[in-house]
């Protein structure tokens, strides 16, 4: 069964990409770090003493802040506590295999050294450093793949970009000119000056035409043939599909897809947002996504000082601890044979099915209805001795005798060795 309702409109995978070997690393990676970082981290959701409702990185739009006022924030942006090595190391310790960071979000401010504008972190801030350069070097050093988020359609600073109707007349915008003479040269910079880039993560396709989306994909692939293009380039021409934000399909989707998701409610740092998801919810979400064939791109929103908020750090490290034990059931794994039970998720690799028991049975027996395959042996993934668990097969269920207490109250993984 396939459920594609969660895939964001127009953000599907191009035909044929399912067989593309360039996606192999991405399919195996399963878990990435999203970073939303920009000038919006300075107001952090508060403008002129008032909390602005909604996600932090949209403050310019929600408060209809004039370009001339918003751009003054650059003069204050001095994230002296930014440390690329620490961010990359956090992603590694969290078990994340790739990082995608905002090079340019909808506010139009460039977090990299662009020659196409002076509205960038090197030219316009006292910081004067290029954090994407530092991150690129650090990702190389620590063996993590790096991708850049780039808002191709919305740009509230550029007079011809989409979305700012309080400074500019939307009907008079030359979107094609903006795309040709601003977006494309910047994409070229991002794919020329930072070494190998694994993903260009376009977002909010909006008015972009099929020909324009296609030309962006071709530009990326011309410059770096192995670089993947997120489906949000629009018009179903990306290398992989993207769901709506925080949206997870109800069952397996026959595509390469990814859920971008928040760890609290905002993407960009917002000082009032304390709605942190628990480690339990985050681990269950990762498992749920992988059990349906997807990737989880989990966001952090660093502060204007360059610090990843401590509640995010703690949660990511808890996920890393769980993955250090159970990563075999996630990395390189795909959907398992049993779907649709509230207490169980299944992932699989050739010859192995992983039962993720999210709620431990009270009577020392895990009953898996509908499991019909032959099982050679079963053991707890967390058990280094791989002590065999007794298994009985009934016509309509598999019965596994298990310890009375859940070895891992969040998700205990039972490995079933099956016929390959």
Which residues contact ligand FHN by CB under 6 A? 55, 57-58, 203-204, 245, 260, 267
Taking the C-alpha atoms of residue 84 and residue 164, their distance in angstroms, rounded to an integer, is 32
Q: Using alpha carbons only, how large is the chain's radius of gyration in Å?
A: 23
Compare residues 228 and 355 and give the one whose CB is closer to ligand FHN.
Answer: 228
Smallest distance, ligand FHN to C-beta of residue 420, A: 38
Smallest distance, ligand FHN to C-beta of residue 10, A: 12
Taking the C-alpha atoms of residue 345 and residue 239, their distance in angstroms, rounded to an integer, is 27
Compare residues 113 and 245 and give the one whose CB is closer to ligand FHN.
Answer: 245
Strand partners, 415: 354, 379
Smallest distance, ligand FHN to C-beta of residue 260, A: 4
Smallest distance, ligand FHN to C-beta of residue 243, A: 9
Please give the order of strands across the beta sheet that includes 241-242.
Answer: 228-229, 199-202, 145-150, 98-104, 31-35, 294-300, 257-261, 241-242
Q: Count CA within 13 A, CB hemisphere, residue 267.
A: 22
- To the nearest 10°, report the CA torsion of 386, 392, 393, 394: -150
Smallest distance, ligand FHN to C-beta of residue 60, A: 11
- To the nearest 10°, report the CA torsion of 81, 84, 89, 94: 80
Compare residues 34 and 175 and give the one whose CB is closer to ligand FHN.
Answer: 34
CB atoms within 10 A of CB 183: 25
- What is the DSSP secondary structure assignment for residue 8, as one 8-state letter? P
Compare residues 107 and 120 and give the one whose CB is closer to ligand FHN.
Answer: 107
Smallest distance, ligand FHN to C-beta of residue 264, A: 13
Taking the C-alpha atoms of residue 306 and residue 76, their distance in angstroms, rounded to an integer, is 13
Compare residues 71 and 258 and give the one whose CB is closer to ligand FHN.
Answer: 258
Compare residues 87 and 267 and give the one whose CB is closer to ligand FHN.
Answer: 267
Smallest distance, ligand FHN to C-beta of residue 262, A: 8
Give CA angle at 261 (270, 410), nearest 5°.
105
**Can you read off the two tokens belonging to residue 244?**
């709506």
- What is the DSSP secondary structure assignment for residue 129, as one 8-state letter? -
Compare residues 186 and 243 and give the one whose CB is closer to ligand FHN.
Answer: 243
Smallest distance, ligand FHN to C-beta of residue 61, A: 9
Taking the C-alpha atoms of residue 94 and residue 73, their distance in angstroms, rounded to an integer, is 32
Chain position whose Cβ is nearest to ligand FHN: 260
Taking the C-alpha atoms of residue 220 and residue 99, their distance in angstroms, rounded to an integer, is 18
Compare residues 65 and 353 and give the one whose CB is closer to ligand FHN.
Answer: 65
Smallest distance, ligand FHN to C-beta of residue 201, A: 8
Residue with token string 């918003």? 70
Classify burial at 101, counting beta carbons within 10 Å of its beta carbon; exposed 0-12, middle 13-18, buried 19 or more: buried
Compare residues 97 and 105 and give the one whose CB is closer to ligand FHN.
Answer: 105
Compare residues 268 and 335 and give the one whose CB is closer to ligand FHN.
Answer: 268
């Amino acid at each position: 069964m396939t459920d594609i309702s969660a895939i964001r409109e127009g953000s599907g995978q191009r035909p044929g990409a399912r067989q593309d070997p360039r996606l192999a690393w991405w399919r195996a990676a399963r878990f990435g770090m999203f970073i939303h970082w920009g000038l919006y981290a300075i107001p952090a959701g508060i403008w002129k003493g008032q909390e602005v409702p909604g996600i932090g990185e949209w403050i310019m739009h929600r408060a209809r802040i004039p370009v001339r006022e918003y751009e003054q924030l650059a003069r204050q942006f001095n994230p002296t506590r930014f440390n690329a090595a620490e961010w990359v190391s956090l992603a590694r310790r969290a078990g994340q295999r790739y990082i995608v960071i905002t090079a340019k979000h909808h506010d139009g401010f460039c977090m990299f050294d662009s020659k196409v504008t002076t509205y960038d972190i090197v030219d316009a801030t006292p910081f004067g450093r290029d954090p994407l350069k530092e991150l690129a070097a650090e990702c190389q050093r620590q063996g993590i793949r790096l991708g850049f988020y780039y808002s191709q359609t919305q740009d509230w600073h550029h007079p011809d970009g989409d979305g700012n109707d309080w400074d500019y007349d939307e009907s008079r915008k030359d979107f094609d000119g903006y795309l040709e003479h601003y977006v494309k040269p910047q994409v070229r910079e991002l794919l020329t000056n930072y070494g190998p880039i694994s993903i260009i993560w376009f977002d909010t396709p909006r008015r972009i035409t099929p020909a324009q989306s296609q030309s962006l994909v071709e530009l990326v692939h011309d410059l770096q043939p192995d670089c993947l293009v997120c489906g949000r380039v629009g018009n179903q021409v990306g290398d992989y599909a993207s769901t709506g934000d925080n949206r997870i399909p109800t069952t397996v989707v026959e595509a390469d897809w990814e859920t971008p998701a928040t760890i609290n409610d905002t993407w960009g740092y917002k000082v009032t947002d304390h709605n942190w998801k628990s480690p339990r919810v985050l681990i269950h979400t990762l498992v749920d996504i992988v059990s349906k064939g997807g990737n989880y791109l989990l966001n952090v929103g660093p502060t204007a000082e360059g610090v990843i908020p401590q509640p995010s750090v703690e949660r990511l490290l808890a996920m890393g601890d769980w993955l250090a034990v159970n990563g075999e059931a996630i990395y390189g794994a795909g959907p398992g044979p049993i779907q649709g039970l509230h207490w169980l998720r299944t992932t699989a690799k050739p010859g192995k099915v992983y039962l993720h028991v999210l709620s431990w049975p009270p009577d020392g027996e895990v009953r898996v209805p509908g499991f019909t395959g032959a099982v050679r042996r079963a053991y707890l993934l967390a058990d280094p001795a791989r002590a065999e668990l007794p298994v009985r097969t009934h016509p309509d269920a598999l019965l596994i005798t298990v310890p009375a207490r859940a070895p891992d109250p969040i998700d205990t993984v039972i490995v079933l060795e099956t016929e390959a």
